[in-house]
């Protein structure tokens, strides 16, 4: 508000000028009639008419400038709010985004800000009416107290319905906003690429359309009631204004006949009355506008008041920049963790399936229990284990998407809660299984990691990630647009592009969720090569699904039930004959159905060579590309060659 102080002062000044013009015109009209027309003085009539015309033009100009400034203030405040809310939501933890429905959030950040701004602009305009009303009433009392009293006595008839209608409007505004937000949420969820695909494969379009229509019907219903209420106040006021004008002419006319005052005074009073109802009408909607603004501000501040769960300490220190020394080591010290409860991280009104407050406050079960391990500098630690064991959760703690409930996660001895978020982001690079890309060019998506990267740097990273040749073969090269969420790239291409993005960022710690089933064998080979480059000299934690990666690991952690059950190298763990050995045998036996024995030493770890599909998968998902040890495996025969692109090929979906 401070930033808009000057504009506000100017607006106030313009309001004074406008109000003075409004009250001076009726006095001039009185003079034209009483001193000009009634006294047959053409000079007075002409002169004063010209002054009235001049004032009318000045008034029009004043009002124009007034609306510019009130608009500027309203828009300025909404701009500040919008930007502040965006930055605030950026700071929210992942848990906020996993719970929040995007459509509702976007309606909050867009729709509510817009409504608040509209209401605020109208409010500013009508607040200026207060001065006009005061001056008009003062002048009316000066001209005739009786007629003014009649006018004042009618005021409650205007204000009472205004208050009632305002309350109803507030109620329906809130309902309308919520319903619109939910409608937006359905559209967003059903029509983003993932949702659209799911609906095509599993959905029942007729039922979905019917459900949507029912929801849209509710929006229509609320909209109709809202429109009626918003018109109602104006209709009542227009009616009352007409009735009182008739009354004033009736009473005032007989006063003129009885020589209480002259006709000029009656015309001045009638004109003033006309000028009174305009601002009063505006003032009576002031309340409903104020309420609308309040509702919207309330909804925006509800978001702004949500404290981010992950924050940076004021005295946080920066981790050493990548490349300034050996890669740091990672340490988990007695880490226990449970996902935050709903009430801690999100707002009930932004979730589609609203839980009761008691359910929202209920604690969630512990997912990681007293987990301790060390990933030495520059080494690779593979996390394996059954699905739901806590591998992904553990990796989330390394990039501080969440904080542990007890114990600590350290990078080079620094507790992550004590380091700056910015430096942590520089040090830790993450590649998830289903890497996300913005609906933009490949170039823009890569530059997201390193905005100052040159074209040769971009291509170099792409080459190292085994995707350079493919990109060069595309008609638009780096300027090819990847579809929404990268849907025009194959799974393997996406992971390689994600690796190129990681290489550009050049973090010293890499957290990687290895791709599982959706890769063709060609991609597998390319990915493994790319991985080799990406992980070299970096401290890495990999949720490993391929035996080749697992065998490359300096250390394997078998994570099950939120605990590290076993640790060691592939050979050590096999020899120990525990859970790892069991997983290995069952998975491998499954992969090598065509006769490769459980311990067949034949599969070549892909990380080491250009050839060969995969081995068995530990910890989830079927295997693509069979092991060399026997037969084709689950997903196809072994592959030779480096997985390069076919010349001139196009992206998925391109014609
Ligand atoms: N956002 C979340 N909120 C609440 N619980 C969660 C959340 N994400 C995961 N969990 C729970 O945490 C436990 C561990 O899940 P996690 O994803 O870490 O397992 P995982 O070992 O990575 O499994 P997978 O191999 O299938 O990916 C599971 O019981 C899961 O249901």
Percent of the chain scoring above 90 in pLDDT = 24
For residue 64, what pLDDT is reported?
Answer: 92
Band (pLDDT 50/70/90 cuts) for residue 520 is: low
Local confidence band at 353 (pLDDT 50, 70, 90 cut-offs): low
Distance 393 CA to ligand 1 centre (A): 6
Q: What sign has the CA pseudo-torsion 65, 66, 67, 71?
A: positive
Residue 588 has what pLDDT? 46
Measured distance CA(30)–CA(36) in Å, rounded: 9
Q: What is the mean pLDDT of residues 203-227?
A: 87
Q: Of all protein residues, whose CA lies closest to atom 6 belonging to ligand 1?
A: 339
Query: Is the pLDDT score of 631 beyond 70?
Result: no
Average pLDDT over every residue of 165-183: 82
**What pLDDT was estimated at residue 485?**
56
Q: Which of 392, 402, 565 to mutate to test the pocket of ligand 1 (most atoms within 8 A of CB)?
A: 392
| pLDDT reading at 614 higher than 80 | no
Query: If we measure between CA atoms, which residue out of 414, 428, 471 comes closest to residue 446?
Result: 471
List, in order of start, the domains of the chain with CATH numbers: 2-304 (1.20.1560.10), 330-340+363-608 (3.40.50.300)
CA distance 632 to 623: 11
SS3 368: strand
Give the C-alpha separation, 546 to 519, whole Å: 12
Residue ranges in 506-578 assigned as alpha helix (H): 521-535, 547-552, 570-576
Confidence category of residue 443, pLDDT binned at 50, 70, 90: very high
| Contacting residues for 578 by C-beta, under 8 A, at least 6 apart | 558, 565, 566
CA gap 627, 636 in Å, rounded: 10
Q: Which pLDDT score, from 0 to 100, does residue 519 have?
A: 55
Atom of ligand 1 nearest to the CA of 394: 18
Q: Is the CB of 561 under 6 A from ligand 1?
A: no
Tens digit of each residue's pLDDT (9 = 90 or more) over 55-96: 999 999 998 998 888 888 888 888 888 888 888 888 888 888
Regarding the beta carbon of 390 and ligand 1, being less than 6 Å apart is answered yes
The residue whose CA is least distant from atom 12 of ligand 1 is 367
With a 6 Å cutoff on the Cβ, whether 363 touches ligand 1 is no
Average pLDDT over residues 160-166: 77
The average confidence (pLDDT) of the chain is: 79
What distance in angstroms lies between residue 616's CA and the mean position of ligand 1's atoms?
Answer: 22
pLDDT band at 1 (very low <50, low <70, confident <90, very high): low
As a whole-number percent, the residues of the chain with pLDDT over 70 amount to: 85
Judged against a pLDDT cut of 70, whether residue 457 lies above it is answered with yes
If we measure between CA atoms, which residue out of 599, 653, 596 comes closest to residue 626? 596
Indicate the top mutation candidate among 332, 336, 343, 390 to test ligand 1's pocket, ranked by most ligand atoms within 8 A of CB.
390
The mean pLDDT of 303-310, rounded to a whole number, is 84
Entry pTM: 0.68
Query: What element of type H or E holds 338?
Result: strand 330-338
Question: What pLDDT, on a 0 to 100 scale, did the predictor assign at position 600?
Answer: 37
Q: Which of 440, 426, 446, 439 minimizes the C-alpha distance to 499?
A: 446
Return the ligand 1 atom nearest residue 98 CA.
1
Please, are residues 372 and 410 in contact by the beta-carbon 8 Å criterion?
Answer: no
Distance, CA of 179 to CA of 224 (rounded, Å):
14
Distance 392 CA to ligand 1 centre (A): 7
Ligand 1 center–CA 634 separation, angstroms: 26
- pLDDT greater at residue 622 or residue 219: 219
Residue with tokens 């905005």: 451
Separation of CA 363 and ligand 1 centre (Å)? 16
Nearest protein CA to atom 17 of ligand 1, as residue = 392
- Residue 370 reports pLDDT greater than 80: yes
Answer yes or no: is the C-beta of 69 below 6 A from any ligand 1 atom.
no
Backbone φ and ψ for 512, nearest 5 degrees, come out as -135, 130
Instruction: Give the number of the atom of ligand 1 that is nearest the alpha carbon of residue 95.
Output: 1
Q: How remote is the CA of residue 435 from the centroid of ligand 1, in Å?
A: 18
What's the CA-to-centroid distance between 97 and ligand 1, angstroms? 16
Of 234-243, 303-312, 572-581, the one with minimum mean pLDDT is 234-243
pLDDT at residue 128 in the model: 73
The residue contributing the CA closest to ligand 1 atom 18 is 390
Mean of pLDDT values over 547-571? 89
Q: Considering only the C-alpha atoms of the chain, give the largest distance between any 2 of them, rounded to a whole number of Å.
A: 123
Q: Using CA positions, which residue lies closest to atom 4 of ligand 1?
A: 339
- According to the model, what pLDDT value does residue 141 have? 92
């Amino acid at each position: 508000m401070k930033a808009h102080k000057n504009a506000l002062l100017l607006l106030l000044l313009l309001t004074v000028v406008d109000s003075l013009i409004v009250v001076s015109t009726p006095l001039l009209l009185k003079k034209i009639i009483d001193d000009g027309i009634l006294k047959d003085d053409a000079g007075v009539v002409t002169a004063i008419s010209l002054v009235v015309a001049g004032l009318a033009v000045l008034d029009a100009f004043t009002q124009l400038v007034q609306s510019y400034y009130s608009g500027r203030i309203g828009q300025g405040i909404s701009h500040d709010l919008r930007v502040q809310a965006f930055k605030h939501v950026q700071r929210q933890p992942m848990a906020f985004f996993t719970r929040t429905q995007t459509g509702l959030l976007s309606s909050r950040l867009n729709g509510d800000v817009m409504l608040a701004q509209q209401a605020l602009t109208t409010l500013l305009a009508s607040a200026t009416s207060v001065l006009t009303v005061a001056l008009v009433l003062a002048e009316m009392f000066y001209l005739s107290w009786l007629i003014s009293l009649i006018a004042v006595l009618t005021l409650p008839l205007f204000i009472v319905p205004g208050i009632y209608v305002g309350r109803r409007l507030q109620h329906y505004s809130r309902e309308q906003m919520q319903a619109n937000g939910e409608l937006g949420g359905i559209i967003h969820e059903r029509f983003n690429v993932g949702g659209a695909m799911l609906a095509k494969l599993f959905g029942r379009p007729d039922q979905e359309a019917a459900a949507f229509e029912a929801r849209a019907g509710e929006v229509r219903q609320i909209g109709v009631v809202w429109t009626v209420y918003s018109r109602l106040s104006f209709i009542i006021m227009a009616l009352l204004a007409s009735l009182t004008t008739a009354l004033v002419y009736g009473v005032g006319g007989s006063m003129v006949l009885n020589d209480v005052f002259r006709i000029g005074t009656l015309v001045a009073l009638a004109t003033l009355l006309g000028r009174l109802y305009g601002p009063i009408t505006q003032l009576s909607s002031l309340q409903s506008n104020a309420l609308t603004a309040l509702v919207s501000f309330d909804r925006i501040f509800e978001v702004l008041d949500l404290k981010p769960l992950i924050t940076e300490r004021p005295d946080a220190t920066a981790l050493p920049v990548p490349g300034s020394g050996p890669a740091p080591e990672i340490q988990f010290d007695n880490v226990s963790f449970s996902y935050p409860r709903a009430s801690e991280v999100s707002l009930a009104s932004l979730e589609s399936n609203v839980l009761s407050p008691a359910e929202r406050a209920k604690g969630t079960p512990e997912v990681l229990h007293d987990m301790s391990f060390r990933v030495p500098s520059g080494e690779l630690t593979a996390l394996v284990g059954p699905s739901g064991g806590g591998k992904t959760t553990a990796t989330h703690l390394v990039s501080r998407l969440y904080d542990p409930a007890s114990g600590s996660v350290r990078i080079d001895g620094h507790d992550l809660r004590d380091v700056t978020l910015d430096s942590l982001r520089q040090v830790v690079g993450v590649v998830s299984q289903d890497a996300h890309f913005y609906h933009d060019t490949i170039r823009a998506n890569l530059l997201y990691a390193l905005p100052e990267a040159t074209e040769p740097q971009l291509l170099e990273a792409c080459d190292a990630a085994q995707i350079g040749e493919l990109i060069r073969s595309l008609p638009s090269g780096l300027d090819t647009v990847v579809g929404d969420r990268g849907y025009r790239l194959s799974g393997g291409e996406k992971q390689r592009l994600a690796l190129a993005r990681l290489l550009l960022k050049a973090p010293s710690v890499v957290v990687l969720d290895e791709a599982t089933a959706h890769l063709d064998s060609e991609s597998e080979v390319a990915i493994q090569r790319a991985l080799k480059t990406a992980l070299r000299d970096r401290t890495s934690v990999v949720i490993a699904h391929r035996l080749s990666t697992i065998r490359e690991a300096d250390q394997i952690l078998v994570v099950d039930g939120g605990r590290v059950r076993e640790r060691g190298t592939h050979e050590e763990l096999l020899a120990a004959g525990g859970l790892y050995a069991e997983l290995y045998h069952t998975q491998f036996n499954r992969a090598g159905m065509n006769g490769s024995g459980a311990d067949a030493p034949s599969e070549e770890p892909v990380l080491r060579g250009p050839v060969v599909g995969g081995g068995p998968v530990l910890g989830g998902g079927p295997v693509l590309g069979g092991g060399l040890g026997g037969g084709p495996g689950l997903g196809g025969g072994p592959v030779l060659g480096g997985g390069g692109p076919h010349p001139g090929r196009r992206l998925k979906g391109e014609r």
